[in-house]
Amino acid sequence: MKSRAKPVPARPEAGPQVQRGGASRAARAAGRGLLLLLAGALVVGTGTVVTEPEGGAGRQDTTELARLQAAEQLQVLAADFEALAAARGGDVLADTAVLLSRQTQLLGPDTQLPAGTAASPGAAPATPDPDASAAAAGTVPGLGESTRRLAVVSRSLLSTAQDVEPGLARLLASIGAADYAQAALLQRETGTPEELPQPWQSPDTSWAGSCSEPGGAPTAADGTPAAGPSGRPTTADALGAVVVSERKLAYVYEAALPRLAGKARAAAQKRYLQHRALIGRWEGIARGLCMEVPPAEAAYELPAGLAAKPGPVLAEAEAAGAAAYADLVAFSSGNLRSRASGDLLGAVRRIADSSGSLSAAPGLGSLAGVSGGQAPTVRPPDAR
């Protein structure tokens, strides 16, 4: 008896489909709209870009695993510092525990690693510090060792940020920068003698590119594109925003320095020289990648209150300046992302030096608990 083959239903063509039929299809359409709204809320809430997998789910799986491993590292450290704060007291320890808990929340609600996943740096208990025996019969980790592991996790997060999707890259780089700066604050505030590991550093890179004229597409080994779809920010826009941000910061410092004295003036002078050097560095990178940046202006608007309270105003300006580096991390890849991550770390350390405190993810605006509103949006260089 011959079996009759069942007809294979035709696959619908790609593109918009006309919806016909009853209320069930309308309900499904409404449900899809709600799903898209929820996806949009996830992007705003976590800083993670939701994209379709390209050529399979490999990149997405890597990004998701990186998110879960980062959350695991931060959860372990948060518990350690909560225990230290309970055993020793001190605002800086409690603040560190809150910071780490907030960072874990920023990485999303589901932070459970799949079974059998290899442990990530900083997740497993490290060799106990000699001081640990004095705290709760060895159940509380030593302050020196916990501070050191916080710096180790910072290096891990900044390294991971180089290889994941743009939204998570920006978030991990910002959190990693904050964690190293917080470790340095802990060392300074508590007098911890434990030596910190060296901070994460981007590799030395040659920025020599080739193009037919200024503003052309770069062909450097980094391969970062200089142009994108019409009307959308590009790598060149983000790099231009970094240059403009550094010029504005240097201008604010020039106005503030005469109003400072003693140690405050010396510290501000050091940061001012760093900003001057960063202007030259990023203008040179732009030339090497054949990207145009906005011309320097004769003057920039000064923040309100600079004459009366120059110190706090400089701290606020430093916090705002980190946003440009965080955006460039998301709008770039390869060597350029690496350089942006390294300078984001420098920006966050200047925030800590000038204000003595940190948000959970500097440069991400009110999303990460920064006072003063949302992080500025990257605009094309001529949009000033």
Amino acid at 178: A
Amino acid at 271: R
Q: Mean of the pLDDT values across residues 343-366?
A: 93
Rounded-to-integer distance, Cα 381 and Cα 331, Å: 14
Q: Measuring CA to CA, which residue among 183, 169, 141, 156 is closest to residue 73? A: 156
Rounded-to-integer distance, Cα 38 and Cα 265, Å: 48
Confidence of residue 209 (pLDDT cuts 50, 70, 90): low
Q: What angle do CA 148, 356, 321 make, to 5 degrees?
A: 100
Confidence at residue 140, expressed as pLDDT on a 0 to 100 scale? 56
The tens digit of pLDDT for each residue in 92-133 reads 999 999 999 999 999 987 655 554 444 444 443 333 334 333
- Residue that the structure tokens 């790598």 belong to: 235
> Structural domains in the chain?
61-128+140-190 (1.20.1260), 235-368 (1.20.1260.10)
What average pLDDT does the chain have?
76
Does the pLDDT at position 138 exceed 70?
A: no
Confidence at residue 231, expressed as pLDDT on a 0 to 100 scale? 65
Confidence at residue 232, expressed as pLDDT on a 0 to 100 scale? 78
Confidence at residue 324, expressed as pLDDT on a 0 to 100 scale? 97
80 vs 370: which has the higher pLDDT: 80
Tokens for 248? 């504005």
Q: Mean of the pLDDT values across residues 68-93?
A: 93
Rounded-to-integer distance, Cα 324 and Cα 329, Å: 9
Tokens for 372? 């003063």
SS3 label, residue 16: coil
Does the pLDDT at position 352 exceed 60?
A: yes
Confidence of residue 233 (pLDDT cuts 50, 70, 90): confident
The tens digit of pLDDT for each residue in 254-301 reads 999 999 999 999 999 999 999 999 999 999 999 999 999 999 999 999
Does the pLDDT at position 85 exceed 60?
A: yes
Confidence at residue 192, expressed as pLDDT on a 0 to 100 scale? 81
Confidence at residue 111, expressed as pLDDT on a 0 to 100 scale? 55
Contact between 170 and 47 under an 8 Å Cβ cutoff? The reply is yes
